[in-house]
Structure 1
Amino acid sequence: MRKLGLFVLPLLLAACGGTGLNIGQGFEMTAALTGTQVAVDVVNVYAKNADGSPGAYLSSRVDKYTPTAGTLKVEVRGGSLGFTAQKVTVKYTDASGNPLADTASTFNNSVAFTVPGGYTCPGGATTCAATDKTLTATTFSLPDLYWLSEQAALMAARGCVDGSSVIGTGYVCPEVRMNVTFTGKDSLGAERTLIIPQAQVRVYVNSVSDEVR
C-alpha cells in the first residue's frame, strides 16, 4: 500500500498582533494522528471439482477484521497557550474525500485531555507570572485512541474484497481517511479548534485462506 506522510494543519491563531508571539498569549500547535489501521482476514471461495479438489474461483469474503487504535501527537510551539479538548468530531472519507459508503459519515464523542502550553515556570510550577515564563517547545502524545466507528471499520474491511478476483496477501486495499476536529478551550478560556485533515487509516490483508464448496 502506498504510504502517505502525516497530514497536519498548523493553527496560527496568535493573540499578540503583528509584533511577535508573547509568552503564553498565542496559540500555535500542530497535530497528527497515526497508527490507526484495520487488519483483514480474507477467505477465497472455490467450486469443488468432482474429485474434491478446488475448481473455479467463485468469490471472496471477509472472515475477520481487527482494528488497531492510533496515537495523537501534538507539537506545541514555545510560548503557545495550552489546550483542553472537550469534544472530537471525526468524518470518514475515501482517499478522494468522498464520504465512506454505507456508514454514518460523522462520529462525535466527548473527550477530556489537556495539551500543556509551550513554556515552563521556575521550580516546575504549573503557573507563574508572564515575566517568569520560559519559552519551551513541547510534544504531547496520547496513545490508544480508537475513533474509528465499527461501521467505518467494517466498510474499510469490506473494501478489500470486491469478489471479482482472487485476493492475495499483497492485495492493495482502498484507503480510508479520518478528518478529525477537536474543540475545546485554551489556557485563557477562549474557544479553540485543533484540526487533523485526512489522517490515514491503513487497511491491509492480514491473512488469506481457501474454502471449497
Structure 2
Amino acid sequence: MRKLGLFVLPMLLAACGGTGLNLGQGFEMTAALTGTQVAVDVVNVYAKNADGSRGAYLYSRVDKYTPTAGTLNVEVRGGSLGFTAQKVTVKYTDASGNPLDDSAATFNNSVAFTVPGGYTCPNGATTCAATDKTLTATKFSLPDLYWLSEQAALTAARGCVNGSSVIGTSHDCPEARMYVTFTGKDSLGAERTLTIPQAQVRVYVATVSDEVR
C-alpha cells in the first residue's frame, strides 16, 4: 500500500467546532502515506518446439511479489490540537476508484500513535501551561507501516500480467491506491478523523525470466 516514486497525496483535515486556530481549539493537519510498493517477478511462458527449442509465446505469470511498507508523514499547523489514532481503515482501489478486488477491498486494524499538537513549550518540555505555549508548525513521521493486505498486494501483482503480450521490465502495471482513514481523538478528547484519499501504491516489474514448456 506504495517509486516508490510514490506521489505524496495529502488531504487537509478541516477544523471542527471552531472557526480559527486558537490554541486548544483548532485542528488542522495534512497527512500523506508514501513509499508503499509491490515489486513483481514475472515469468514469460513459451511453448516448446518439437526439437526442444523455444516456440510461440503462451502467457506470463507472477513468480513472486515483494511488498514494501510505507511511511506516514503528517504536517501539523501551528496551534492545532494533537491527534491520537486508535483505528485505521484502508480501502484498496484501482486508478479509477473502483475496488481493487472484492475479497481485498477493505482492511481494518487497531493502531496506537499520537501526532503532537502544533505548539512548543519552554526548554523542550512536553507539557506546559497554555500561556507558555508557542504556536509552532510541527512534522510527524512514522515509518514501516504495512497497510497493504496480502490479498491486495497479490491482486495488484497479478494486474501486471493480465495482458496477452510478452512482459518486460519496462512494462507499465496498473495503478493501485489506498484510501486511508484514521479515527481517534484530539488533545481534548473529541472524536476526529484524518484521511488520505489516494495514497498511491507503486506496482512494477522487478525481474523477468523465460520458461519453455
State the 1:8 CA deviation. 7.0
Contact (CA 8 Å) 2:16, 2:27: kept in 1 or not? no
Contact (CA 8 Å) 2:67, 2:153: kept in 1 or not? yes
Contact (CA 8 Å) 1:35, 1:69: kept in 2 or not? yes
Say which is worse superposed, 160-169 or 68-77, in terms of deviation: 160-169
Equivalent residue of 2:104, what SS?
coil
State the 1:129 CA deviation. 1.7
State the 1:16 CA deviation. 9.1
1:100 to 1:24, Cα distance in 2 relative to 1, 3 A: same
1:11 to 1:93, Cα distance in 2 relative to 1, 3 A: closer
Provide, for residues 168-187 of structure 1, a one-character-per-residue CA deviation record: whole Å limited to 9, x for no partner: 11000000000000000000
State the 1:130 CA deviation. 1.5
State the 1:124 CA deviation. 1.8
Size of the alignment, in residue pairs?
213
State the 1:23 CA deviation. 1.8
Unaligned stretches of 5+ residues in structure 1: none
1:11 to 1:127, Cα distance in 2 relative to 1, 3 A: farther
Provide, for residues 73-129 of structure 1, a one-character-per-residue CA deviation record: whole Å limited to 9, x for no partner: 000001110000000000000000000124231110000000000101112222222
Tell me the percent identity. 91
Contact (CA 8 Å) 1:11, 1:27: kept in 2 or not? no
Contact (CA 8 Å) 1:39, 1:204: kept in 2 or not? yes
Provide, for residues 130-150 of structure 1, a one-character-per-residue CA deviation record: whole Å limited to 9, x for no partner: 211101111100000000001
RMSD: 2.7
Contact (CA 8 Å) 1:8, 1:197: kept in 2 or not? no
Contact (CA 8 Å) 2:89, 2:109: kept in 1 or not? yes
1:10 to 1:18, Cα distance in 2 relative to 1, 3 A: farther
Distance 1:45 1:164 in 2: 11
Distance 2:200 2:119 in 1: 31
1:101 to 1:2, Cα distance in 2 relative to 1, 3 A: closer
1:16 to 1:71, Cα distance in 2 relative to 1, 3 A: closer
Match of 1:181 in 2: 181
Distance 1:84 1:210 in 2: 50
State the 1:52 CA deviation. 1.6
Distance 1:54 1:163 in 2: 20
State the 1:53 CA deviation. 1.5
Distance 2:144 2:108 in 1: 17
State the 1:156 CA deviation. 0.3
Say which is worse superposed, 172-181 or 125-134, in terms of deviation: 125-134
User: Deviating runs (4+, > 3 A) in structure 1?
Assistant: 1-20
1:105 to 1:27, Cα distance in 2 relative to 1, 3 A: same
